[in-house]
Amino acid sequence: MARANDEVAALFAEYADLISITGGDAFRARVYEKAARSIGGHHADVSRLDLKGLQEIPNVGRSIAEKIVEYLGTGRVSAVEELRARIPAGVRRLTAVPTLGPKKAMAVYQELGVSSIEELVDAIRDERLRDLKGFGPRTEQNILHGIALLRSSGDRVLIDAAMDVAESVVARLSTAAGCRRCAYAGSLRRGRETIGDVDVLAAADDSEPLMRAFTELPRTREVVAHGTTRTSIRTTEGLAVDLRVVPPDSWGAALQYFTGSKAHNIRTRERAVHQGLKLSEYGLFDAETGERIVSETEEEVYARLGLPWIPPPLREDRGEIEAGLRGELPELVRESDLRGDLHTHTDLTDGLAPLEQMAAAAAARGHAYYAITDHAPNLFMQRMTDERMLAQRERVRELDAEYGRRGARGGTRLLHGVELNIDPDGGVDWPDDFLAGFDLCVASVHSHFNQSRDAMTRRFLRACENPYVNIIGHPTTRVIGKRPGVDADLDALFAACARTGTALEINSHPDRLDLDDEHILRARRYGVKFAIDSDAHSTLHLAYLRYGVATAQRGWLAKDDVINAWPLTRLRRFLRKGRTG
Ligand code: DGT
Ligand code: CA
Ligand code: CA
Ligand code: ZN
């Protein structure tokens, strides 16, 4: 089930937008935005809290707590409904266009009557936007770009949203009468960053109880098609889910087929044909006699095709068949290989939880090491100072003394790091002597995203040359469906990282996943090392590492490519980089 916290967070985020669109108080909008973030990242389930408990959540006051109670009781909040009613749905959708934003969306609606994305495109074509205050040719280009971005993500959802749905559906169906096996397949099993629809596969002799359980799930909003082999629904969140039920002895062939990708399946089918076989979701058959040869496990199907079992993240026809035939498939990094997390925040900057809670949660996850990397002072809104940073370091050292010794596995060593800002010229927040005090430095681009390709490339290269910069954080800075990546000569960046001993981050936050799989594949050829980080701003985010790992696997990475899969001694050697002294 979607957590009540996520529902409430989405509602308040929408409310904040609605306040902005209707020209409400900007400060009030911010209050709801902050509350949304706090609630989304809060560890306790809001549906179990009373009015008093709710007000203990950071950024939640009495009136917000009351709205949460109203929502949990009635499924709606009247203040939100009132604002919703004042704005056509089309205009609300306009606010989702990256770079347009609530204010401009309302302006084009009020001044030009534009109330849909299609009308907005027409208005730009006819140059009608230019008459409005604050809109110029450059704005038009940005808006068109934003629309393209929105359309390219289409109706696809981020991997964490799809995973929530898939795991709850699989858990539910697994307990239905006669269910022998159940798993999700499709793009989700391959770990793609966005998911078109969720494909669930089950094995049973009689499909009817499973199909019925599926259509009766609490989150089923609409049954799109109902049959004995396949049923399709749409969830209350609007996500499409397909369930296919196959006889138990077809399980392996069906799982192979519905995991895809299509491109990979075309290759496996070709191999079957060359061997006088026929491959379908029901099994691998002799083409002439029609006799079924294998079908029960994926391993058997691949083996009969002369291939080792191919991990789903590799099944994209990007060389995995050839590598399999040569016996050269990589041994992919797994989540259990990760020994630590090297980019995380606390409430000293924009995190939601204090250092003590983050450290406790990291230790509970069994991390052997864990770096705290709050924001550096040049990100002004974070109000960082030298004194605060040094005070935090002292506290980290104390906690390290405590956690470093605990437990049978040798405890959790705490590292004190920082997330530096790479300024437009490639410099960072502090001089070398101050940087030398950190155990590691992540450095990220947080501003001036629109620099020219040359300037952006120089900026990255200079950051890599800095002997204190160990990891480039979320390298392209893209936000999936919202902000395109920066323009830079990435091959030059990859070469520089390999040369200088600077790792590239695979930021595991589901709306970033930055670097993405294709970039990882490219960077890997230069011999770059990677850090798979959660960039956690709350204890809940520590679990995002699974998505970073999936992305790394899609980029063919092995344990040895990932610095936070290394033992601490080897990691520390890497972190010394080219530093003197
Ligand atoms: P998505 O849903 O767009 O994120 O991507 P997928 O890969 O989950 O695609 P989907 O849901 O259309 O189909 C699930 C799998 O079923 C797909 O990965 C491979 C298999 N499949 C579906 N249609 C075809 C087809 O026409 N030919 C072949 N060979 N396989 C197919
Ligand atoms: Ca799918
Ligand atoms: Ca599908
Ligand atoms: Zn960060």
Q: Does 265 contact ligand 1 (Cβ within 6 A)?
A: yes
In a domain, 514, yes or no: yes
- The predicted structure's pLDDT at residue 1: 45
Q: Are residues 364 and 483 in the same domain?
A: yes
How many Å lie between the centroid of ligand 1 and the Cα of residue 440?
43
How many Å lie between the centroid of ligand 2 and the Cα of residue 218?
21
pLDDT of 347 over the 60 cut = yes
- The predicted structure's pLDDT at residue 66: 94
Determine the Cα angle at 543 with ends 537 and 544, to 5°: 75
* CA–CA separation, 13 and 7 (whole Å): 10
Q: Are residues 422 and 362 in the same domain?
A: yes
Q: Shortest CA distance to 261 belongs to which of 366, 190, 356, 161?
A: 190
Q: Does 317 contact ligand 1 (Cβ within 6 A)?
A: no
**CATH number of the domain encompassing residue 433:** 3.20.20.140
Q: Does 262 contact ligand 1 (Cβ within 6 A)?
A: yes
- The predicted structure's pLDDT at residue 153: 66
* Average pLDDT estimate for 335-350: 96
- The predicted structure's pLDDT at residue 23: 81
Q: Are residues 268 and 183 in the same domain?
A: no
Nearest ligand to residue 509 Cα: 4
* CA–CA separation, 214 and 209 (whole Å): 9
Max CA distance (Å), the chain: 79
Protein residue closest via CA to atom 28 of ligand 1 = 262
| 269 alpha-carbon distance from chain centroid | 32
Q: Which domain holds residue 57?
A: 4-86
**CATH number of the domain encompassing residue 302:** 3.30.210.10
Q: Are residues 67 and 98 in the same domain?
A: no
In a domain, 25, yes or no: yes
**CATH number of the domain encompassing residue 121:** 1.10.150.20
What share of the chain has pLDDT > 90, as a percent? Answer: 77
- The predicted structure's pLDDT at residue 512: 97
pTM score, whole prediction: 0.86
Backbone angles phi, psi at 420, to 5 degrees: -80, 160
User: Would you call the peptide bond into 461 cis, given omega within 30 degrees of 0 as the criterion?
Assistant: no
In the listed set 37, 71, 86, which residue is the last one of a domain according to the structure? Answer: 86
DSSP state of 512: T
Ligand 1 nearest-atom number relative to CA 269: 29
Ligand 1 nearest-atom number relative to CA 187: 8
Q: With bands split at pLDDT 50, 70 and 90, how would you rate the model's confidence at 494? A: very high
* CA–CA separation, 491 and 497 (whole Å): 10
Protein residue closest via CA to atom 17 of ligand 1 = 260
* Average pLDDT estimate for 109-115: 86
Average pLDDT of the chain?
A: 93
How many Å lie between the centroid of ligand 2 and the Cα of residue 552?
20
Protein residue closest via CA to atom 19 of ligand 1 = 260
CA dihedral angle for residue 321, residue 258, residue 196, residue 229, rounded to 10 degrees: 170
How many Å lie between the centroid of ligand 4 and the Cα of residue 384?
14
Protein residue closest via CA to atom 13 of ligand 1 = 186
Residue 230, helix vs strand vs coil:
strand
Which tokens go with 410?
A: 């040798």
Q: Does 260 contact ligand 1 (Cβ within 6 A)?
A: yes
- The predicted structure's pLDDT at residue 406: 66
DSSP state of 266: H
Q: Are residues 540 and 394 in the same domain?
A: yes
In terms of DSSP H, where are the helices of 326-449?
A: 355-364, 386-403, 432-435
Nearest ligand to residue 155 Cα: 1
* Average pLDDT estimate for 242-267: 97
How many Å lie between the centroid of ligand 3 and the Cα of residue 487?
34
**CATH number of the domain encompassing residue 198:** 3.30.460.10
* Residue 112, burial from CB neighbour count under 10 angstroms (0-12, 13-18, 19+): middle
Q: Among 52-61, 380-389, 526-535, which is the least confidently predicted range?
A: 380-389
* Average pLDDT estimate for 507-513: 97
Protein residue closest via CA to atom 24 of ligand 1 = 262
pLDDT of 196 over the 80 cut = yes
Q: Are residues 239 and 114 in the same domain?
A: no
Ligand 1 nearest-atom number relative to CA 186: 8
Q: Cβ atoms within 10 A of the Cβ of 128, count?
A: 16
Q: Are residues 421 and 562 in the same domain?
A: yes
* CA–CA separation, 120 and 126 (whole Å): 10
Q: Does 477 contact ligand 1 (Cβ within 6 A)?
A: no
Which tokens go with 568?
A: 């601490």
Q: Are residues 96 and 190 in the same domain?
A: no
Q: Shortest CA distance to 546 belongs to which of 512, 510, 579, 572?
A: 510
Q: Does 184 contact ligand 1 (Cβ within 6 A)?
A: no
The answer to whether residues 294 and 300 touch, using CB atoms and an 8 Å cutoff, is yes
pLDDT digits (tens, 9 = 90+) for 457-477: 999 999 999 999 999 999 999
- The predicted structure's pLDDT at residue 214: 97
Which of 187, 267, 268, when mutated, tests ligand 1's pocket best, judged by the most ligand atoms within 8 Å of its CB?
187
What share of the chain has pLDDT > 70, as a percent? Answer: 98
Continuous segment of H or E residues that includes residue 547 = helix 545-554
DSSP state of 479: B
How many domains does the chain contain in total? 5
* Average pLDDT estimate for 29-50: 91
Q: Does 232 contact ligand 1 (Cβ within 6 A)?
A: no
* Average pLDDT estimate for 384-400: 97
DSSP state of 43: S
- The predicted structure's pLDDT at residue 89: 75
In the listed set 280, 301, 326, which residue is the last one of a domain according to the structure? Answer: 326
Per-position DSSP letters for 58-79, written without gaps between them: TT--HHHHHHHHHHHHHS--HH
Q: Are residues 405 and 511 in the same domain?
A: yes
* CA–CA separation, 12 and 9 (whole Å): 5
Nearest ligand to residue 514 Cα: 4
The answer to whether residues 336 and 327 touch, using CB atoms and an 8 Å cutoff, is no
Nearest ligand to residue 166 Cα: 2
In a domain, 581, yes or no: no
Q: Does 186 contact ligand 1 (Cβ within 6 A)?
A: yes
Q: Among 45-59, 86-100, 190-204, 217-231, which is the least confidently predicted range?
A: 86-100
How many Å lie between the centroid of ligand 4 and the Cα of residue 535?
5
* CA–CA separation, 491 and 477 (whole Å): 16
In a domain, 510, yes or no: yes
How many Å lie between the centroid of ligand 4 and the Cα of residue 518?
22
- The predicted structure's pLDDT at residue 420: 98
pLDDT of 568 over the 70 cut = yes
In a domain, 286, yes or no: yes
pLDDT of 407 over the 60 cut = no
Which tokens go with 215?
A: 């259509």
How many Å lie between the centroid of ligand 2 and the Cα of residue 326?
30
Q: Does 199 contact ligand 1 (Cβ within 6 A)?
A: yes
Q: Are residues 399 and 344 in the same domain?
A: yes
* Average pLDDT estimate for 367-373: 97
* CA–CA separation, 455 and 489 (whole Å): 10
In a domain, 260, yes or no: yes
How many Å lie between the centroid of ligand 2 and the Cα of residue 171?
18
In a domain, 174, yes or no: yes
Q: Are residues 60 and 141 in the same domain?
A: no
Protein residue closest via CA to atom 16 of ligand 1 = 258
The answer to whether residues 377 and 429 touch, using CB atoms and an 8 Å cutoff, is yes
Q: Are residues 424 and 353 in the same domain?
A: yes
Which of 258, 269, 317, when mutated, tests ligand 1's pocket best, judged by the most ligand atoms within 8 Å of its CB?
258
Q: What's the Cα-to-Cα distance from 233 to each of 129, 164, 170, 180, 388, rounded to whole Å?
A: 40, 16, 14, 22, 52
* Average pLDDT estimate for 381-401: 94
How many Å lie between the centroid of ligand 3 and the Cα of residue 139?
38
Q: What's the Cα-to-Cα distance from 421 to each of 375, 448, 507, 530, rounded to whole Å?
A: 8, 11, 16, 19
In the listed set 182, 213, 246, which residue is the last one of a domain according to the structure? Answer: 246
Ligand 1 nearest-atom number relative to CA 156: 4
Q: With bands split at pLDDT 50, 70 and 90, how would you rate the model's confidence at 409? A: low
In a domain, 284, yes or no: yes
Give the contacts of 306 (CB within 8 A, at least 6 positions apart).
271, 275, 325
The answer to whether residues 55 and 79 touch, using CB atoms and an 8 Å cutoff, is no
pLDDT of 408 over the 60 cut = no
